[in-house]
Amino acid sequence: MRTKASPAACCTTLEARFRAVRALSANLVSTLSDADATVQSMEDASPAKWHLAHTTWFFETFVLRDHVPGYALHDARFPFLFNSYYEAEGQRHARSRRGMVTRPALDEVLAYRAAVDAALVDALPDLPDAARALIELGCHHEEQHQELLLTDILHLFSCNPVEPAIWPGERKVPVAMPGPLGWIDGAQGVHEIGTEGDGFAFDCEGPRHSVLLHPHAIADRTVTNGEWAAFIADGGYAEPRHWLSDGWAWVQAQGIEAPLYWEQRDGGWTRFGLDGRRAIDPAAPVTHVSFYEADAYASWAGARLPTEAEWEVAAAAHDPLGGNQLDAAGPVEPRPATGGPAFFGDVWEWTGSAYRPYPGFAAAEGAVGEYNGKFMSGQCVLRGGSCATPRGHARASYRNFFYPHQRWQFTGVRLAKDL
């Protein structure tokens, strides 16, 4: 029989969780200059300073403003600057111009965080259950932004000709290439996927529902850099028969010849990472590839991408806390696989499924109802988490989603095939 925790114990646990999440964000930017944290390298990315302020705005708006009588905003200008896409919260600064916000400076944003943190912790014992649920949502929301913060810094630093490293890493001892790709027979028949309502989940992960799985197999690991280099050497980016029409048009228009951050130097492939420019590790999972590239590789390999239902049913037997995930500020990169099959960490895995609502899905009331449902159009589902995903954030039912051309996240490939 499960014993229900006391309100005081729940409050203590939630406070510890909140403090830990907020501390990790601050640690991730501890080596950045104000300029590093201000510049925006592309419209899909946001400045580090904006991520720090936006996650703070979330707690200030939906918890302190809405649930603490008499709370006064830290700065009345900040909601306009740091709202992201919540139409119900009114006008906001254009996403494409976030890099123009040179003021407030990084130290002012950190002071904003400290003030909101103190106010929230002080108010926590008297908050209603609805506000505490929003704190839990806000912690998961900030963990999403921790990953975005890292990938946005990576993209920014890749645009700098001197290719700086945020964390100079140690030179790695080469790891032997994994053996040939193995195949796991997938489950067949009717199965259930989606959240079971036990523990936190985002709204788009439910309702739990039945799916029909046909005979299939799923790869026991993700595709490696070495295998991707073979795809390139075989003309994979130059052969239209492997590509979807939209993908081929994208390759031609953008001049795509390799994964993002790959370059030929000194006779071999190199990649740029948060630890600077290095030779690719052939045994490590390939990353920074788009859905278009993932689908083309699968076609070239005589396979396909798994559906999200196939992936979730297979992953349900694996530990979501395992694998190479984000634990602390420090070197972040996909690593060669060791041990048995792993479904979590290293790289987000593209599926062949469109990001659409599950049967019976309904968005929540109010501004927080804009969190996921409004994006269920034109995007593809990824599963499993990455080396930049905070450990404990992902689970078998977790649905990440991006547009098919996007690849600045740690995105990779697991293959599947029909039987």
Chain centroid, CA 395 distance in Å: 12
171 pLDDT higher than 70 = no
Q: Where is average pLDDT lowest: 172-181, 239-248, 259-268, 303-312?
A: 172-181
Q: pLDDT band for position 176 (50/70/90)?
A: confident
The pLDDT of residue 369 is 78
Question: Residue 170 to residues 53, 226, 278, 325: CA-CA distances in angstroms?
Answer: 32, 21, 11, 18
Q: What is the CA radius of gyration of the chain?
A: 22
Task: Give the angle 291-382-163 at the CA atoms, nearest 5°.
Answer: 65
> What is the per-residue pLDDT across 192-202, written as a single tens digit (0 to 9) for each?
999 987 789 99
Q: What is the pLDDT of residue 174?
A: 64
Indicate if the pLDDT at residue 3 is higher than 90. Answer: no
- Is the model's pLDDT at 12 over the cut of 90? no
pLDDT at 340: 64
What superfamily in CATH does domain 183-418 come from? paralog of FGE (formylglycine-generating enzyme) (3.90.1580.10)
- Give CA–CA dist 345/342, Å, rounded: 8
Quote the tokens at residue 296: 């083309």
Confidence band (pLDDT; 50, 70, 90) for 1? Answer: very low
| 257-290 tens-digit pLDDT | 999 999 999 899 999 999 999 999 999 999 999 9
Cα gap 213→306, rounded to integer Å = 11
Backbone angles phi and psi of 402, in degrees to 5: -145, 165
Question: Is the per-residue pLDDT at 9 higher than 70?
Answer: no
Instruction: Taking residues 365-394, report their average pLDDT.
Output: 91
pTM of the model: 0.95
Residue 92 has pLDDT above 80, yes or no: yes
Strand partners, 390: 326
pLDDT above 90 (res 368):
no
pLDDT score of 363: 86
Per-residue pLDDT tens over the stretch 213-257: 999 999 999 999 999 999 999 999 999 999 999 999 999 999 999
How does 276-304 read in b/e, with b if 16+ C-beta sit within 10 Å?
beeebbbbbbbbbbbbbbbbbbbbbbebe
* CA 355 and chain centroid, separation: 15
Chain segment 326-346, per-residue pLDDT in tens: 999 999 999 997 766 789 999
Dihedral sign, CA of 328, 334, 337, 340? positive
Query: Is the pLDDT assigned to residue 4 strictly greater than 60?
Result: no
Predicted local distance difference test score (pLDDT) of residue 21: 98
Do residues 30 and 106 make contact, with C-beta atoms less than 8 angstroms apart? no
Residue 170 has pLDDT above 90, yes or no: no
Per-residue pLDDT, 172: 65
Strands 400-402 and 380-383: antiparallel
- Residue 8: pLDDT band by 50, 70, 90 thresholds? low
Residues 336, 307, 411: CA angle, nearest 5 degrees = 35
What average pLDDT does this structure show over 136-165?
A: 97
Residue 367 is predicted with a pLDDT of 77
Highest mean pLDDT among 172-186, 219-233, 365-379: 219-233
Which SS3 state, helix, strand or coil, does residue 263 take? strand
Indicate the pLDDT class of residue 125, thresholds 50, 70 and 90: very high
Spell out the domain ranges in the chain.
Answer: 7-158, 183-418
Share of the chain above pLDDT 70, in %: 96
- Residue 237 has a pLDDT of 98
- Distance between CA atoms of residues 117 and 119, nearest Å: 6
